[in-house]
Amino acid sequence: MQKEFPISQALTKVKKAVRGFRTPSVTVISQKNDPFAVLVSCIISLRTRDEVTEPASARLLKLAKSPAQLIKLSKSKIEKAIYPAAFYRNKTQSLKELCKDLVDNFEGKVPDKLEELLKLKGVGRKTANLTLILGHNKPGICVDIHVHRISNRWGYVKTKSPDESEMVLREKLPRRYWKGYNDLLVTFGQNICKPVSPFCGSCSLAEICPKTGVTSRR
């Protein structure tokens, strides 16, 4: 019978391993406790490096601190603020539509319930959960590609998509780890447990990690 992966031990080790690495950009932005800032930065961050996301979000949020203010900005002004974020023109359109939705249906406020966040145009489960966690300080499980990959690499879940991973983690992961799980695994995945050829030789989890699916390592 396969032994259950020691998730508590692993997360303690991950926490120590990621000290000194760059904090994910959306987490940095969230330190102002502004749900709108978190939501905006989440949209900008899609398929965009952290080094681009953080200053792009800061430029836009300096121009618009609320959905009502962002609606008044011209598309060209938003595009200029968030460039060179990937797909910045599409994201500009998405941000305009999102803010109109917030003004029209939520009194210009970012909702604090998952089911309401998911009703917003252009908001998927990852963005909704991250907005809940970082913007409203409420429990949620945000699963991006790093979280999905590492959770499977550990053998903690056996899933085929991030959305499926979220559902399994909601059943399995102790609630005390929910809020910090994404932050820890994203930083760990970007710097140590990389998608291709992870740094297993210097990883503090090497002895307890089954390395599921790993074909080459450093």
pLDDT digits (tens, 9 = 90+) for 46-101: 999 999 999 999 999 999 999 999 999 999 999 999 999 999 999 999 999 999 99
Q: Kindly state whether residue 213 falls inside one of the protein's structural domains.
A: no
φ, ψ (nearest 5 deg) of residue 198 = -65, 160
Shared-domain flag, residues 113 and 182: no
pLDDT digits (tens, 9 = 90+) for 98-136: 999 999 999 999 999 999 999 998 899 999 999 999 999
- Is the predicted pLDDT of residue 1 greater than 80, yes or no? no
pLDDT of residue 23: 87
Per the structure, how many domains does the chain have?
Answer: 2
Shared-domain flag, residues 121 and 66: yes
Shared-domain flag, residues 41 and 90: yes
pLDDT: is 145 or 29 the higher one?
145
pLDDT of residue 9: 97
Shared-domain flag, residues 40 and 78: yes
CATH of the domain at 119: 1.10.340.30
pLDDT of residue 2: 61
Shared-domain flag, residues 131 and 158: no
pLDDT of residue 32: 74
Shared-domain flag, residues 109 and 153: no
Q: Kindly state whether residue 210 falls inside one of the protein's structural domains.
A: no
pLDDT digits (tens, 9 = 90+) for 154-203: 999 999 999 999 999 999 999 999 999 999 999 999 999 999 999 999 99
Shared-domain flag, residues 83 and 162: no
CATH of the domain at 156: 1.10.1670.10
Q: For residues 147 and 153, give the distance between their C-alpha atoms in angstroms, rounded to a whole number.
A: 10
Shared-domain flag, residues 36 and 117: yes
**Which of 12-16, 19-23, 164-168 bottoms out in mean pLDDT, i.e. has the lowest?**
19-23
Q: Kindly state whether residue 2 falls inside one of the protein's structural domains.
A: no
Range of the domain at 178: 7-18+141-202
Shared-domain flag, residues 69 and 119: yes
Angle subtended by helix axes 7-17 and 178-191, to nearest 10: 60
Alpha helices in 66-204 (DSSP H): 67-72, 75-82, 88-105, 114-117, 125-130, 136, 145-153, 162-172, 178-191
Helix (H, G, I), strand (E, B) or coil at 75: helix
Q: Kindly state whether residue 122 falls inside one of the protein's structural domains.
A: yes
CB 154 within 8 A of CB 5: yes
User: Residue 24 — pLDDT band, cuts 50, 70, 90?
Assistant: confident
Residue 143: name the closest of 177, 119, 112, 176 by CA. 177
Residue 69: C-alpha distances to residues 17, 61, 102, 121, 131 (Å): 41, 10, 12, 18, 20
Shared-domain flag, residues 73 and 99: yes
